[in-house]
Each structure stands twice: as structure tokens, then as C-alpha cells.
Chain A
Amino acid sequence: MIAIIDYGMGNLRSIHNALAKVDGNPVIVSDSKSLSDADADAVVIPGVGSFGDAMRNLDPFSDGLFDLVDSGTPLLGICIGMQVLFDKSEESDAAGFGILAGDVIRLPGGVKIPQMGWNELTIRQDNRDSDLLAGINDGDFFYFVHSYYCVPEDERVITATTDYGVDMAAVVEKDNIHAVQFHPEKSSKKGLLILKNFVEMVK
């Protein structure tokens, strides 16, 4: 069972449908107690809302989340669900989970903000063995909607980048932690392939 954390900031139908489509057996978990009790094989932090609101609403889930992460359970963060894994964001005074070291900063001037639309991935040369990106090629497009982006302290966690005014982390991975800045659940076949790869990892 893959737990999708419902932190009350938008509908989760798309990510639920997409995980169901790739046989991920998704369950939406709306209260923190059931996350701690749930026998989750994996956990997804979906991408809705702003950093401060997301951290405030995720706070009750944090004990359960840290337990799962510490026990090696695969985690997938999507969009804002990626950003909250880092230490802090320019968007808010709220602290992030700090599961990955680094900051979240605003997209540079000179481009339309938010970035909204399909952009290409470039896979990092030294991370071509990423299981999450199996079957994904350089130049494949994914759907992005965001105004801030993650800058990991350790560049080696970046498995793929995208270029929008700046070359930025689009996929980061470290042990059981996986995170994507784009929305795989809105990225058609290639997005489903990434979710399928995540589901395979869990099995």
C-alpha cells in the first residue's frame, strides 16, 4: 500500500488515479494517526499549495513521516512535496523537514513566473543508473508548475535537471528519498512511467 498524505490543500484525485493506473495500490491518508498506524510500503507527499501552508498542515504528520523515512520506507515528494524535504525556503519563515540539506529559492528574474508547462529533463551523467528514471531519456518532457526551486547542498543527490532561466534540480534522490519538481501525475505516459518505476521499487 502506498500512502498519499492528504494535508488538506487540494484534491488528490490525479495522483491517486495515476498510482492506481500503475497498480500502486494508493490509499489517501488524511490524519496523522493513521499514517503512524498504516502499514505503508511507501509514502507520497503530493504537491499542492505554498511552502508555509504545506509545512503547517504537514506538521502533525511529521513523527509518522520520520519513522517511515528512518525505517527505509521509499518516499516520493512531488513539487511542493519535494521542496518541504529541504531545510528552508525563501517563500516562508517556516522550517522545512531538513531530510535533505539545502535551500529552496525563487526562480530568477527574466522568465515568466510561475514556470507553467512542459519542460525537458537532462539526466546527470553520474546518475544514469537511477531506478526512478529507468526508461526516461534526455529531452523527455514533464509538466511543471512552480515559482521556487531546490538547491541541494550536496550536488550528488541531483539525478536530473531542467532549464528555466537557470539549470535547476528537477529530480533528487538519496537512499530511500526520491523527489521530483514536476508533476508526474500530469505528465502523460512518461510521468506514469516514473510512477511505475517508483511502484516497482516498493515491491
Chain B
Amino acid sequence: MLAKRIIPCLDCDLGVAQGRVVKGVQFKQIRYAGIPWELAEEYDRQGADELIFLDITASHERRETMAKVIEKTSENVFMPLTVGGGIRALADARIAFNSGADKVSVNTAALKNPDLINDIAKYFGNQACVLAIDAKRRYGREPGREMVDTPDGECWFECSFYGGREFTGIDAIKWAIEAEERGAGDIMLTSMDRDGTKDGFDIELTKAISDSVNIPVIASGGCGNPEHILEVLRDTNASAALAASIFHFGEYTVGEVKECLRDGGVHVRL
């Protein structure tokens, strides 16, 4: 039986020589967490199923630093590696793959040019293309929106881009369905309302998207403890959960999270 995946996310500031992993709170305040490939090796030891490296500086000059981070990581860490942030064109994806990445995640560039999803899928395979969606709740009925009932009232979910700084007016559920049709292999779904809060995943959002597509959904944003991961993997169709700060700052190991999941009846690789 296929296991649910636990994916530590490494937000990388590549403005320094070796790069460094940082963690923001609701896309703002920053804490320093360590050197990317050292953390990657630690997560491998702990039993992580996959790793995501996000370039939060995301500029062309820093592509090479990310390539070095991935090259260095892939010498000693043998699990699927995803690179995201600053993948604007096929050329950026190619640099990431050549450095040892297995997948790239795209957000802003795909919203501006959806054909990028088709192109990455065509040249590198569907499994290599992760669509990242940063979604924010918008309460109140609006025509043409996919409305979802939540304990706080009816809402739709709006896609954001440019690292959460700008909004698109695009409905996240509709965008996820389109991305699957275009060839995306995974959807990395971040709740902007929950990101960094440690209040738990947005269950309604995760459920709505994972019930709308047939490709795996990676739930992200708001993880504060193993029970939050248990909740989202047990109560929605998400195939994976992503977390950053609970792992980076040593609050929990990946192994501890997986034991909690196993005890809660979720099938994991232990």
C-alpha cells in the first residue's frame, strides 16, 4: 500500500554563500535554521520521504547557488528532491534538473503563463512538475466562484503570487483542475491564512482541492504539531503533508510525526 508522505520544506535564503534555511511567519518575519544540505541529511536520517527546497530570494542571480545546494545535497541524500521559487521558464527547470532535482515547483510563472506547466510536463514528465498554489480564503458569495462551507462561513479560495504579496483573482479550485489537465504531477497547496500560525492545516481548503483533482495534493501551511498532520492526512484526500518550522527548530523529528500517524491509523513508511 502506498504510504502518505512527510515532506520537510527548506525555505532557502540564497543571498549568502552556501545558502541558508530560514522560516518566515505569514511570509514575513524570518528565523535562521541552518545550512540546507546539512538539514537535508538530518531529515534523511529521520525518515523524511521527500524534500522541497524553496528559493525565497528567487532571483536569477541566485539560481546558481540553488544548483550548488542541490548538487551538494544529492551526493548524500537519496530521495526525491523538489526545487521551487524562481522557476520562471524551462531553462530554469533544466538547471534544477541538471543539478540533481527530480521535480520543480512553479507558482507565479505558471499563473502568468500556464503553458509552462505543459512544457515542463512534456520535456521532463508529469511527475517532474509540481504546481504550487498559495490560497487565501475570501468570505462571501461571489458569482463564478467555487464556494466551500467552513465553520467560519461560506468562502472561496483566491490564488496569490509573488510570494503572497499580490493576488490574482483566480479561483484556486478551478486553477488546480486546470493544472491537472495541463500535466501537473503534484499540487503543493499552501494556506496563506494558516502559514506560520501553527494553528493546523486548512482542512476545508485541503479537502476541497484534493477532492477536485486526481493528482496527489501536498497539504501545507499551519502545521504546529504531529496531531495537525494526522488530522489533515486522516480527514482529507491529501497524499502528503509539508512542514517546516516544527522540524527545523527540533520541536519534533520526522520519526515522531510518523509514529503519531501510524498510531492514528495513517499508513506511513517507518
Contacts and interface: CB of A to CB of B under 8 A. Distances in A.
Q: Do A and B come from one complex?
A: yes
A145 to B, nearest CB: 5
Given A10-B97, A188-B44, A116 B78 contact: no
Interface in B228-258: 239-240
Interface string B110-126: 00000000000000111
A49 B1 contact: no
Interface string B63-107: 000000001001110111000000000000000011110100000
24 contacts: A10-B97, A10-B125, A13-B71, A14-B74, A17-B100, A112-B215, A112-B239, A114-B126, A114-B127, A114-B185, A116-B185, A116-B216, A117-B5, A117-B216, A119-B1, A120-B3, A141-B3, A143-B79, A164-B1, A164-B2, A185-B78, A186-B80, A187-B78, A187-B79
Contacts of A18: 78
B212 interface: no
A33 interface: no
B145 interface: no
A114 B186 CA distance: 11
Interface in A145-184: 145, 163-164
Size category of the A interface is 20 to 34
Given A49-B125, A112-B214, A141-B269, A117 B49 contact: yes
A141 B54 CA distance: 26
A13 B76 contact: no
Contact of B1 (A13, A14, A120, A143): A120
A43 B127 CA distance: 26
A192 interface: yes
B78 A191 contact: yes
A114 B80 CA distance: 15
A21 B5 contact: no
Contact of A188 (B74, B78, B214): B78
Contacts, number: 74
Q: Which of B1, B80, B239 has the most CB of A within 10 A?
A: B80
Given A120-B1, A188-B44, A14 B76 contact: no
Given A17-B78, A21-B78, A115-B2, 19 more contacts: A10-B97, A10-B124, A17-B100, A49-B125, A112-B215, A114-B127, A116-B127, A116-B185, A117-B3, A117-B240, A118-B269, A119-B3, A120-B1, A143-B80, A185-B78, A186-B78, A186-B102, A187-B79, A192-B78
Contacts of B215: 112
B78 A117 contact: no
Contact of A14 (B49, B102, B214): B102
